[in-house]
Structure 1
Amino acid sequence: MTRADLVQDDGRVDRLWTGATWSEGPLWIPTTRRLRWSDIPGDRILEWDSASDTTIVHREGVEFTNGRVLDADGAVVQCSHGRRRLERELPDGSLEEIVAQWEGKRLNSPNDVAIAPDGSYWFSDPDYGIRQAHEGHLGEREYDGRFVFRWSAADGIRPVITDIVQPNGLAFSPDGSTVYVTDTAIGLDDGPGHWIRAYDVVDAGAGAENGRHFATIDDGMPDGIAVDERGRVWSSAGDGVHVFDPDATELLFLPVPEPVANLCFGGDDGTDLFITATTSLYRVRTTTRAAI
């Protein structure tokens, strides 16, 4: 496989906007043709408009939102560090709580979320938002762990992955049989974790097992990840974006001028890779699209 098989323009990285403190949680919204993301320490949500090539502040005082995804109705589901919950932004701009507790105990600080093929929400719950005042509100862990949870209206909330020290980004393979989760324990010296793990999705999408090491990121850590339609894993890192085949062979490295926090596919035809990296939003033209 050559570079041209994965990216256009030899993988040129274009900076679309700069001016944030720590950029996170990118999401392409097709109905508005905008890329939405968070400046977490700035406690605001930003949007880059593809038609005008301008960036606006969507909302301020947002309680340190992080990862987000579109649900089946087109509403934005997002993680709130400050409110310690998973929530939905309705079309009128109001917010609706999805889940904030497990077994009567508050969540830590939900970080990233993905929708499984069965329609359930899987989200990571590290404790970054209750340990760092610039990313949330200082507080205590109320349950003994930092888990990946599954939530559905029918089943409620349950932990599905409990063996990662600091679970962070997550994404499903195209057929939904594998879920990838990053461990960023090294970020606050909670352990050596700077890798991606893979799990088999079992019980008709209700659980995960057979956790194993998938890939290590040597420069920085793998924060957010995205999986494309051919099952390749695109990972953030301290030095840029690393792309792995489903067998964990590294296929491509795209250097980015700043440490990368997260990334997502979008654009009118779905082949733009948007990269949130520290102060800026970047874009790379690719030859592929998101898995699901």
Structure 2
Amino acid sequence: MFSLSAFSQSYPVYTPELKLKEKFRLFDSTTSSTEQKQNSGSQFSKPTYKVNYLKLATITGVTAGAFWWLHNYQKNAWWSGQRGKFHFQNDWDYAMSADKTGHFFDGALLQAIYRGALEWAGFSPTASTWLGAAFSIAYMTDIEIEDGFATDWGFSMGDQICNVAGALYPVAQFYWKPLRSFNFKWSYLPSEDITSGKKNGAFLDDYNGQTMWLSVNVHDFLGKKAKKFWPDYLNIVTGYGVNHYQEYDKRYADYYVGLDINWERIIPGNSKFMLWFKNVINHFRFLPLPALRFNKDGVTYIVNF
């Protein structure tokens, strides 16, 4: 956007004998300082990005190692001794849909991890955002394909839809600023199934111990006067969790409303690493904070994760 003040300056008087190159030189000299500063970051001065291939190789190596470990962990936890023909499975209601919210969260978390890593390696924010989503979808799709060959599971279109939606939600936030005020979080406290040894320790599907949260940056929606009385890091959060999800006659849901912390606004540091670190940990709710819990037994005031 051009600055009107820049054009209000006095220009050299035009004379017909000025050559074309001289005209451009004179124009540049009158707009070189103030206007270029005002338009920094606009079409006049676009930032340049250069990929650091050593950093990219580091990301590739860490990814390969992490994927190998996770694949073997999931193989032992879910797929051991279950190899069969590829098949589909309709499981939208599995674990009272806590499984689906988990897939959405996993897709968003992986996207955030890779977006920050790729920006650190020198990719532009736009490229990092899209590539992060692509890596997230690729990994989650690999899990679904493995599920498709497991006799007790199956390729779930519900899971895959949530995987893709979760990976693309940060992309939508990148392009539409109001969405940045709404972020999904996850918290976990081992359920009795884990602590008693009933389950094999696979916390990823310990849905009785998981809670999914939607954290809202209230400060973003307040007027100027109200902002003075509400800390920008204090959020309102709603939550969803399940109990006894495997026992159809006993299972029930918990709903929560409470307070939350936006770690991106309270932890100092603006380096690429710190921005990435704050964004990643902001996907988790790990401090005990006050909340109201609503379920079949009524309303309870609690302090929970």
TM-score, length of structure 2 as denominator length: 0.28
Q: Higher relative contact order by CA 8 Å / sep ≥ 6: 1 or 2? A: 1
Larger strand proportion, structure 1 or 2? 1
Which has a greater percent of helix? Answer: 2
Rg larger in 1 or in 2? 2
TM-score (norm 1): 0.29
